[in-house]
Amino acid sequence: MRVAISTGGGDAPGLNAVIRAIVLSCHQRGWETFGIRRGYDGLYPQDSLLVPAIPTPPFPPDRREGSNGGGLIPLDPERVRGITHLGGTILGTTNRGNPFRWPARQPDGSTVELDRSDELVASFRAHGFDALIAIGGDGSLSIAHRLWQKGVPLVGVPKTIDNDVWGTESTFGFDTAVATATDAIDKVHSTAESHDRVMVVELMGRHAGWITLHSGLSGSADVILIPEIPFDIEKVCEKIREREARGRLFSIVAVAEGARPIDGAPVLRQVAGAGTVERLGGIGALVAEGIAERTGKETRSLVLGHLQRGGSPTTFDRLLGLRFGSHAVRTVADGEFGHVVVSRPPLVTRIPLDEVVGRTKLVPLDSGIILTARNLGVSLGD
């Protein structure tokens, strides 16, 4: 059996743990494993005449194997030794690698989206692969679903720090991101208090407020704004004034990048282009401005950004990654293609990809964590 592994979309701490578990579990069964570099890019012929819309450098030689820079890395227990605790992905990743919408530059400089999925499937078969384990978030799992519909024997593994993949209690990377975000909120507390300022911290979470809610609560933020609850800036200011009246002259606001005011839309840093999705960012600065204007308080904002995706995975994320990788191989062994591995505590199990794609796991408004926030007097901006 020859198993290919791909990591697509944004990286997340715990990816390397998944890769290691897949390789070791396959090795136990006498199977071979290969890593596809940069999403699916490593499967396209290196001499393709197509030019990507955004220039991509050739694959560098693989650090450990000393390989010649090809798009596939043979993976064995030696190659994945000592990587469980490392952030990122040893395979590299890209969020411009949708084979159904591959952005190519035309001779006249314009960009077109090409469907390269047939080429990809042909290459997968030509390499003699028997199974693909695709590790990715909502976008990558939708791609995986379409590849499976085209006949690729495939198992998905959910990955995102945002924790918004439908059907799984958790995704690896989330716990690490929350720990980083909580640490940042802890740190802005002392400077906010020293200066009697309002500090607004913008956190990741395109569609769902999991990171912001968990870290905001753990870090004792006074206001938490998430995409699921459009906020009223007047309500946010009410909370700040109410604290002021009690002699609490500083406040901390945690806001998800995808949060939006009741009368507005999420703030975009970049609109979607050929083969790329829109990039969010800037709501923190807007909230800070709104607060400063209305309350007269000195206000600062910061964007935590990709710090949340970096660093060594927490114990929880390492274990979840190892369990996901191991279960993905069991799923291949059982021939349950077209499934995705999910966490349903205390179990790690699998469900059909059909159930997952096109859906987002938002924070339920009646969930215990929302009720806890309200009970603690945290403003959710509504």
Instruction: State the nearest-atom distance from the C-beta of 107 to ligand F6P, in Å.
Output: 28
Q: Which is nearer to ligand F6P, 224 or 280 (CB)?
A: 280
Q: Which is nearer to ligand F6P, 98 or 326 (CB)?
A: 98
Torsion sign over Cα 222, 226, 229, 232: positive
Q: Does 325 bind ligand F6P (CB under 6 A)?
A: no
Q: How far apart are CA 376 and CA 370, in angstroms?
A: 10
Q: Which is nearer to ligand F6P, 75 or 267 (CB)?
A: 267
Instruction: State the nearest-atom distance from the C-beta of 96 to ligand F6P, in Å.
Output: 9
Q: Does 202 bind ligand F6P (CB under 6 A)?
A: no
Q: Does 240 bind ligand F6P (CB under 6 A)?
A: no
Q: How far apart are CA 142 and CA 360, in angstroms?
A: 12
DSSP string, 95-118: SS--TTSEEEE-TTS-EEEE--HH
Q: Does 331 bind ligand F6P (CB under 6 A)?
A: no
> Which segment (45-53, 202-210, 351-359, 368-376) binds ligand F6P by CB under 6 A?
202-210
Instruction: State the nearest-atom distance from the C-beta of 325 to ligand F6P, in Å.
Output: 20
Torsion sign over Cα 348, 350, 351, 356: positive
Q: How far apart are CA 285 and CA 130, in angstroms?
A: 49
Q: Which is nearer to ligand F6P, 72 or 285 (CB)?
A: 285
Q: How far apart are CA 33 and CA 328, in angstroms?
A: 13
Torsion sign over Cα 152, 155, 159, 162: positive
Q: How far apart are CA 107 and CA 35, in angstroms?
A: 32
Q: Which residue has its beta carbon closest to ligand F6P?
A: 204
Q: How far apart are CA 16 and CA 88, in angstroms?
A: 7
Q: Does 72 bind ligand F6P (CB under 6 A)?
A: no
With CB under 6 A as the contact rule, the residue among 3, 73, 152, 161 that binds ligand F6P is: 161
Count interface residues toward ligand F6P (CB under 6 A). 13
Q: Does 280 bind ligand F6P (CB under 6 A)?
A: yes
Instruction: State the nearest-atom distance from the C-beta of 368 to ligand F6P, in Å.
Output: 23
Q: Does 140 bind ligand F6P (CB under 6 A)?
A: no
Helical (H) or strand (E) element with 348: strand 347-352
Residues 244-273 that bind ligand F6P (CB under 6 A): 257
> Which segment (158-166, 191-199, 320-328, 357-365) binds ligand F6P by CB under 6 A?
158-166
Q: What is the DSSP letter of 89?
A: -
Instruction: State the nearest-atom distance from the C-beta of 54 to ligand F6P, in Å.
Output: 12
Q: Does 14 bind ligand F6P (CB under 6 A)?
A: no
Q: Which is nearer to ligand F6P, 23 or 357 (CB)?
A: 357
Residues 119-138 that bind ligand F6P (CB under 6 A): 137
Q: Which is nearer to ligand F6P, 309 or 327 (CB)?
A: 309
DSSP string, 169-223: S--BTHHHHHHHHHHHHHHHHHHHHHHT-EEEEEE--SS--HHHHHHHHHTT-SE
**Would you please indicate which residues are annotated as catalytic (active-site) residues?**
162
Q: Which is nearer to ligand F6P, 7 or 251 (CB)?
A: 7
With CB under 6 A as the contact rule, the residue among 165, 204, 291, 363 that binds ligand F6P is: 204
Q: Alpha-carbon dihedral of residues 331, 332, 337, 339, nearest 10 degrees?
A: 30
User: How big is the CA angle at 260 (ends 308 and 228), to the nearest 5 degrees?
Assistant: 75
- What angle do the packed helices 210-218 and 174-195 form, to 10 degrees? 50
Instruction: State the nearest-atom distance from the C-beta of 45 to ligand F6P, in Å.
Output: 26
Residue that the structure tokens 């396209």 belong to: 44
Are 168 and 307 within 8 A, CB to CB? Answer: no
With CB under 6 A as the contact rule, the residue among 95, 98, 301, 343 that binds ligand F6P is: 95
Q: For residue 358, give the nearest of 340, 334, 378 by alpha carbon.
A: 340
Q: Which is nearer to ligand F6P, 25 or 160 (CB)?
A: 160
> Which segment (16-24, 204-212, 336-344, 346-354) binds ligand F6P by CB under 6 A?
204-212
What residues make contact with ligand F6P under the rule CB under 6 A? Answer: 10, 95, 137, 160-162, 204-206, 257, 279-280, 309
